[in-house]
Amino acid sequence: MSLSRLSPLSSVSRVSTRSVDPADRIGFWEEYNRQALVGLTCSSYSQDGLLATQTNFRLGGLRLAEITGNEHVIERTPRTCRDLPKDSVFVSLLTDGQAVFFHEGGCLTVRAGDLVLYDTRRSYLFGFPTAMRQLLVDIPREVFAERCAPGDVPAPLLFRQGLAPVSALESVLADWTTGGGDTDPTHAEAAVLDLVRTLAAPRLGDAPALPASSSRLAMALDHIDRHLSDPRLSAEAVAAAIGVSPRHLSRLFRPTGVSPARHLLDRRLAKAHEQLADPDSRHLTVAEVAHR
C-alpha cells in the first residue's frame, strides 16, 4: 500500500511513491498534496522518477509534514494559486540537501539547516537538486496573524542555520516526528508558534518582543542537547546562552518537574546509556563514555 492512515496520536497519514508505477508517481504525488497539504505541480529529473515520502502530523491547530525525496521540483504557479487557493503561511526547514526557492522578487539559495517562511497565496518554485528532507509547518493565516505577526508576508523570509530559534524549532519538530518529545500537542504548538514569532515579527515590521516562556524553554533544551559533551555546560551557561538569569531559567523549567541541573544530568546519563548500547561504540570503555 502506498498510503496508510495512522493513529491521530502519531500522524494523520503517510504516503510514498515507491510502490506506485513510475509513470503515475507525479500525478499521485500532486493529488495527495492537493488534498493533504497544498495544490502544486511537480517535476522529476531523476532516471528513477519521483521517489518521495511524506508523513503528515497534527500539531494542535497546525499541520506538520515530514517530506523526503530525490531530486525534484515543486511549483505553485499563479494559476494554481487561483484554482487551488490556500491561505496559510508555510515554515519550511530543510534538514538535508540543498534547494533553490524562486519567487516573484528573486531567488533564495537554501542550505541544510536553513528555514524559509512564505505565503501560499503567492506563487513560488522550490527546486531540490539533491536528495532532500524537510520539515514543513502549515500555519493557517488567521493563526499566524494572531500568534506570530500581523499583516502580510509580501516576500519569503530566509533564516540561516545557527540562529537559536531555528535550531530550537528543528529540535521541537524532530522530537514530534520521532515521538521523543512533549506528547502534548498544545504545548508543542505553542512552542512552534512562539519560535516562529521570535523569528518573523521583527522582519515583518512588528515590534520585537521577548520570546515567550515556551520558546525560551525550547531554546534551552536545544542548547543543552547540542552541548552535552562540553565540560563547561552548566545551568548558568545555559541561562547565559538564551539571555536569562539562572533564577529565570529555573522558572522556565518548573513545568517540566525538574531543575535545569537535573535535566542536564538526566540528558547526559541518557546519552551515555545510548552510547553504551550502540554496537558502533563497543570499542569504548565505560570510562571513555563517561568522559565524553
208: its cell numbers:
520585537
Overall average pLDDT of the 132-144 stretch: 96
Percent of the chain surpassing pLDDT 70 = 89
pLDDT band at 8 (very low <50, low <70, confident <90, very high): very low
Percent of the chain surpassing pLDDT 90 = 49
Overall average pLDDT of the 121-131 stretch: 96
How many Å apart are CA 52 and CA 204, to the nearest integer?
33
pTM of the model: 0.78
pLDDT above 60 for 264 = yes
How many Å apart are CA 250 and CA 261, to the nearest integer?
9
pLDDT band at 234 (very low <50, low <70, confident <90, very high): confident
Overall average pLDDT of the 154-179 stretch: 89
HSE-up of 186 (CA within 13 Å, CB side)? Answer: 0
How many Å apart are CA 42 and CA 264, to the nearest integer?
45
Overall average pLDDT of the 98-122 stretch: 96
pLDDT band at 289 (very low <50, low <70, confident <90, very high): low
**What pLDDT was estimated at residue 32?**
95
How many Å apart are CA 51 and CA 30, to the nearest integer?
13
pLDDT band at 212 (very low <50, low <70, confident <90, very high): low
Overall average pLDDT of the 162-168 stretch: 88
CB-CB contact of 263 with 227 (8 Å):
no
pLDDT band at 184 (very low <50, low <70, confident <90, very high): confident
Least-confidence region, from 29-33, 50-54, 109-113, 229-233? 229-233
> What's the mean per-residue pLDDT of the chain?
86
Residue type, position 198, single letter: T
pLDDT above 70 for 11 = no
How many Å apart are CA 288 and CA 267, to the nearest integer?
17
pLDDT band at 259 (very low <50, low <70, confident <90, very high): confident
Overall average pLDDT of the 36-54 stretch: 94
Overall average pLDDT of the 179-185 stretch: 66
How many Å apart are CA 36 and CA 247, to the nearest integer?
44
Residue with the bigger pLDDT between 144 and 232: it is 144
